[in-house]
Amino acid sequence: DPNYNTRTTVIVTPNTTNSQGFIRGDASRFTPWGGYLTGEENLSNGTVTGGTGQGRLFEVTNPLTATAGTGNFVQRNSVIPLVAHEGMAFDSAKNFYFVDENLSGSIYKFTSANPNATNGNDYFSAGTVSALKLNTGAVDEGTTLTLSGATSWVAISGVNGRGAADAAGAIGFNRPEDMELLSLANGNEALIFATTAGDNDASAATGNGHVYLQNLNTNTLSLFADSNTIDLATGLAVGASFQNPDNIAIDANGNVYIIEDRNGSTDDDIWFANDINHDGDLLDAGEGLARWASNGINGSEFTGLYFSKVDPNKAWVNIQHPNGGNDLTVQIAAVPEPETYAMLLAGLGLMGFAARRNKK
């Protein structure tokens, strides 16, 4: 793309004083007050000090007005503990949720003392942090358990989020990844998140990974999708075709899309979750998973599917680390039809693309 530099601006420049040694940013979320949050995925057990690359949370306070190198990059760990960041979400009450992307990682909730704050300084200055726990007691998802049941949020404290959650008996999920807030048909809100290494039988040959739903109104955890979910193309369990769910996306109609962390040109897919009645499961007649897109680029993977908030017929997805060396951002434009939005985006053969190459 010869116009790359005219359309893309690096507002926090790596390896500068402003970047504060920030590395491995693997979280992305705009805040209710207009800031932009990201966090470091790296966290070394036993050396949780808050130093460079150690699970820190940051906010760019001026993401929409910053020019090159002028992003105001502020660390937000006065109350938030250090974890390996990936998924983040806010609910309608402005609670902040985040994960620890670890083989026994927990789900966390921050309730600000200033939920209606108009800036990050006030929002993150005081509040309580808690971790998700099954009421039946401490449990680790490991590679062979599927978790469900009544839950509660148990308060934790200290800089080491992972250690504090473990000590409090919080659920240990097997590599929790992306997270989104989902509105259900009955008005309840739910967190939907993937555990990419969770499984039913520890065998990739039968598919692996879980997608869970945490109902924030009823405080219940349930399985949303896994290798036993019906493949709508066959009417049978999706099985080994469903591997390592990583990213979650939600379209303008509240439909869920599950993006795999797999090998391009081999088995890297995006799945459309057809929850017809939007009750937060795929168990009703006609519900299940449908392969929505497949990645044919060697060495790469899909990441970051995002649906426009202003145009329901547009979405973007990234193709990262291909063998050819050029990352892509692909714009997906649906062909308008009178049917539902989900049907408009039901197959890539119907779509127009605009790809942008990112410099390495």
Q: Reply yes or no on whether the pLDDT at 338 is more than 70.
A: no
Q: Which residue has the higher pLDDT, 57 or 341?
A: 57
pLDDT tens-digit readout, 187-235 = 999 999 999 988 888 777 887 899 999 999 999 999 999 999 999 999 9
In the chain, the percentage of residues whose pLDDT exceeds 90 is 74
Residue 352: partners with Cβ closer than 8 Å, 6 or more residues away: 332, 333, 335
Question: Residue 29: which of 95, 78, 79 has the closest Cα?
Answer: 95
Give the model's confidence band at 265: pLDDT under 50 very low, under 70 low, under 90 confident, else very high.
confident
* Residue 327: predicted pLDDT: 87
CA pair distance 207, 240, nearest whole angstrom: 4
Q: Reply yes or no on whether the pLDDT at 3 is more than 70.
A: no
Q: Do the Cβ atoms of 41 and 25 come closer than 8 Å?
A: yes
Q: Reply yes or no on whether the pLDDT at 292 is more than 90.
A: yes
* Residue 247: predicted pLDDT: 97
* Residue 203: predicted pLDDT: 78
pLDDT tens-digit readout, 339-355 = 544 444 444 433 333 44
Q: Which domains does the chain have, with CATH numbers?
A: 9-358 (2.120.10)
Q: Reply yes or no on whether the pLDDT at 42 is more than 60.
A: yes
Q: 280-284, 287-291, 320-324 — which is least confidently predicted?
A: 320-324
* Residue 341: predicted pLDDT: 47
pLDDT tens-digit readout, 99-147 = 999 989 999 999 999 999 999 999 999 999 999 999 999 999 987 889 9
- The whole-chain average pLDDT of the chain stands at 89
Q: Reply yes or no on whether the pLDDT at 57 is more than 60.
A: yes
* Residue 346: predicted pLDDT: 45
Question: Residue range 282-299: average pLDDT?
Answer: 95
* Residue 52: predicted pLDDT: 62
* Residue 50: predicted pLDDT: 56
- CA torsion angle 309 317 32 55 (round to 10): 180
> What is the per-residue burial (b if ≥16 Cβ within 10 Å, else e) of 35-69?
bbbbbbbbbeeeebeeeeebbbbbbbbbbeebeee
* Residue 331: predicted pLDDT: 92
36-39 and 57-60: which strand pairing?
A: antiparallel
Question: Residue range 30-44: average pLDDT?
Answer: 94
Q: CA-CA distances (angstroms) from residue 305 to 63, 80, 132, 272? A: 20, 27, 26, 12
Q: Is the dihedral of CA 314, 315, 318, 324 positive or negative?
A: negative
What is the longest distance spanned by two Cα atoms in the chain? 58
The residue assigned the tokens 């960041």 is 85
* Residue 324: predicted pLDDT: 87
Strands in 57-60's sheet, in edge-to-edge order, are: 29-30, 36-39, 57-60, 73-75
Query: How many angstroms from the chain centroid is the CA of residue 161?
Result: 19
Q: What is the 3-state secondary structure (H, E, C) of the chain?
A: CCCHHHHCCCCCCCCCHHHCCCCCECCCEECCCCCEEEEECCCCCCCCCCCCCCCCEEEECCCCCCCCCCCCEEECCCCCCECCCCCEEECCCCCEEEECCCCCECEEEEEECCCCCCCHHHHCCCEEEEEEEECCCCCECCCCCCCCEEEEEEEECCCEHHHHHHHCCCCEECCEEEEEEEECCCCCEEEEEEECCCCCCCCHHHCECEEEEEECCCCEEEEEECCCCEECCCCEECHHHCECEEEEEECCCCCEEEEECCCCCCCCEEEEEECCCCCCCCCCCCCEEEEEEECCCCCCEEEEEEECCCCCCEEEEEEECCCCCCEEEEEEECCCCCCCHHHHCCCHHHCEEEEEEECC
Question: Residue range 51-80: average pLDDT?
Answer: 92
Q: Reply yes or no on whether the pLDDT at 51 is more than 70.
A: no
